Chain A
Amino acid sequence: DTGVSQDPRHKITKRGQNVTFRCDPISEHNRLYWYRQTLGQGPEFLTYFQNEAQLEKSRLLSDRFSAERPKGSFSTLEIQRTEQGDSAMYLCASSSTPTQYFGAGTRLSVL
């Protein structure tokens, strides 16, 4: 399968814990995006990498959130000191053209 891969698919954590998600983009894609989606809404942009450079961050990305893309390959999104409001689907997408292809997402539940 050469699509965008996200791990884990589901994560349940207690409030205050740290969590980390991983995204493996389509191999030839130089751009990688993170989005967050809550129930009944469309995905909302969090941050974006071109190769290893993080080019843009949304104001939704609070200080508790950090993303990395070492060597311009896979990316990780870490949330520190999780809050109940962080419960959402976290989606990763990649592209080399205007068209973005999404992974299956990581569903985070903060208890």
Chain B
Amino acid sequence: GQQLNQSPQSMFIQEGEDVSMNCTSSSIFNTWLWYKQDPGEGPVLLIALYKAGELTSNGRLTAQFGITRKDSFLNISASIPSDVGIYFCAGLNYGGSQGNLIFGKGTKLSVKP
């Protein structure tokens, strides 16, 4: 099925480092959502973006809805060990009879050895 292009696929972090990841699509969306998923669990919502150009923060997390409506990025500042996990972006065109999220393949955050 259709998926978003999410990069990087994986990255290693050292405590205190800032982290950036992004998501691009060939289609436009009117909503972008970012989730974090731990092994064996469901995705947990981090940030929701509803307007092109919107910049939203949630603690150490900041996400932006791209002006073209085809991309979004997520930044994590001053990473801590519990930030380890898989981060997913998801795009949505909300309204009418459609409502399903289109997900990227995820960015896996691991701790540097």
Q: Chain A interface (Cβ within 8 Å of chain B)?
A: 4, 6, 31, 33, 35, 40-45, 48, 50, 55-56, 58-60, 91, 93, 95, 97-105, 107
Contacts and interface: CB of A to CB of B under 8 A. Distances in A.
13 contacts: A4-B42, A33-B101, A42-B103, A42-B106, A43-B43, A45-B102, A50-B99, A56-B100, A98-B30, A100-B45, A101-B45, A102-B44, A107-B40
B101 A43 contact: yes
Contact of B101 (A45, A55, A103): A45
Given A56-B98, A98-B31, A99-B48, A91 B40 contact: no
B88 interface: yes
A105 B104 contact: no
Interface in B60-103: 88, 90, 92, 94, 97-103
Nearest to A6: B42
Contacts of A6: 42
A71 B44 CA distance: 27
